[in-house]
């Protein structure tokens, strides 16, 4: 089943011009007719969509990645990475999961997907991975120091509220699951 891309609430129109092409970010501008007939230059950013995987291990602990990049405070979050141009979303999730952890999973369930901001065309896809098995070593580049952390659901909920936890988009789902056992079962 093809996973649909979440639509931005202010799509970049086809006639928009790419005014800057960066390493991560491209900037688009276009002339937008306003409600009163005047025109204004609108601007919006595009970056490659990202997959983020929360893996549930056999003992029900959840795998988080503690990451240290050069020049950056450590961060904590799911296993994640960019979807290559034209790459299938689920394939990207499997590829990033294997590269960053050396693991494969029997099941990848799409948990939620969303656009993060009206002025940035950028979709996030959150997956839950189950039936996890080690098949290889990690495959990292010189800019990454990655440590595995295994947390219980309650530990994850607590840590999700701290500044180093990156995926704030799922905190609300975790909290809801905490208060609602049916939803917890789903996870």
Residue 104 CB, nearest distance to a second copy (Å)? 27
Residue 57 within binding range of a second copy, rule CB under 8 A:
no
Which letter, b or e, does each residue of 62-86 get, where b requires 16 or more Cβ atoms within 10 Å of its Cβ?
Answer: bbbbebeeeeeeeebbbbbbebeee
Could you say which of 42, 111, 150, 153 contacts a second copy (CB under 8 A)?
42
Sign of CA dihedral 176, 1, 88, 59: positive
Interface characters, 99-138, with a second copy (x: CB under 8 A): ---------------x-xxxxx------------------
Stretch that binds a second copy, among 67-75, 78-86, 94-102, 105-113 (CB under 8 A): 67-75
Residue 134 tokens read as 């080690």
70 binds a second copy per the rule CB under 8 A:
yes
Nearer to a second copy, 42 or 104 (CB): 42
Q: How far is the CB of 156 from a second copy (least distance, A)?
A: 14
In angstroms, rounded to a whole number, what is the distance separating the alpha carbons of residues 54 and 79?
7
What would the DSSP string read from start to end of 62-110?
A: EEEEEEE-TTS--EEESEEEEPPTT--HHHHHHHHHHHHHSEEEEEEEE
State the residues that interact with a second copy by CB under 8 A.
9-11, 13, 19-20, 22-25, 27, 29, 32-38, 40-43, 45, 47, 69-73, 75, 114, 116-120, 141-145, 161, 163-164, 166, 168-169, 171-172, 175-176, 179
């Amino acid at each position: 089943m093809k996973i649909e891309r979440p639509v931005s609430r202010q799509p970049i129109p086809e006639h928009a011009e790419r005014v800057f092409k960066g390493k991560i970010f491209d900037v688009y501008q276009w002339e937008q007719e306003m409600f009163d007939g005047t025109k204004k230059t609108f601007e919006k950013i595009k970056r490659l969509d990202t997959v983020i995987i929360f893996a549930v291990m056999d003992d029900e602990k959840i795998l988080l990645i503690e990451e240290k990049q050069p020049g950056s405070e450590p961060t904590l979050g799911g296993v994640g990475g960019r979807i290559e141009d034209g790459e299938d979303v689920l394939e990207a999730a499997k590829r990033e999961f294997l590269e960053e952890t050396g693991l494969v999973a029997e099941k990848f369930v799409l948990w939620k997907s969303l656009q993060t901001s009206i002025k940035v065309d950028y979709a996030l896809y959150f997956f839950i991975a189950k039936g996890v098995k080690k098949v290889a070593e990690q495959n990292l580049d010189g800019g990454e120091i990655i440590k595995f952390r295994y947390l219980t659901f309650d530990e994850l909920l607590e840590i999700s509220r701290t500044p180093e936890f990156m995926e704030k988009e799922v905190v609300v789902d975790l909290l809801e699951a905490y208060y609602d056992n049916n939803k917890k079962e789903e996870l």
